[in-house]
């Protein structure tokens, strides 16, 4: 299920190439932080990429693909 309360910033960032931070991803996917990371370990959700020494983010294209996959699974 996809969270229907999108912020305009997240929507605009999702349609362009780039990266999303965890708070942006979790605003789109209704999961807790721990459930999201457990899904990454199981291979269900995309892994982050390092964008700095102490920072990670997810490719917008990976999250777009995940949302498409989740919405098609619901149909």
- Give the model's pLDDT for residue 8: 47
How does pLDDT run along the chain (75 residues), one tens digit per residue? 444 444 544 555 667 788 999 999 999 998 999 999 999 999 999 999 999 999 999 999 999 999 889 888 776
pTM for this predicted structure = 0.78
Domains of the chain with CATH codes: 8-74 (1.10.1660)
- Give the model's pLDDT for residue 62: 95
- Give the model's pLDDT for residue 66: 94
What CA–CA distance (Å, rounded) separates 64 from 47? 14
DSSP letter (8 states) at residue 11: H
Q: What are the DSSP E strand ranges found in the chain?
A: 19-20, 49-50, 56-59
Beta bridge partners of 56: 50
The separation between the first and the last C-alpha atoms of the chain, rounded to the nearest angstrom, is 10
What is the dihedral sign for C-alpha 51, 56, 57, 59?
Answer: positive
């Amino acid at each position: 299920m996809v969270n229907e309360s999108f912020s305009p910033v997240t929507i605009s960032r999702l349609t362009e190439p780039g990266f999303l931070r965890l708070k942006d991803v979790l605003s789109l996917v209704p999961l807790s932080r721990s459930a999201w990371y457990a899904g990454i370990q199981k291979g269900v959700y995309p892994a982050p990429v390092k964008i700095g020494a102490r920072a990670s983010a997810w490719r917008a294209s990976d999250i777009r693909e995940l949302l498409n996959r989740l919405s098609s699974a619901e149909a």
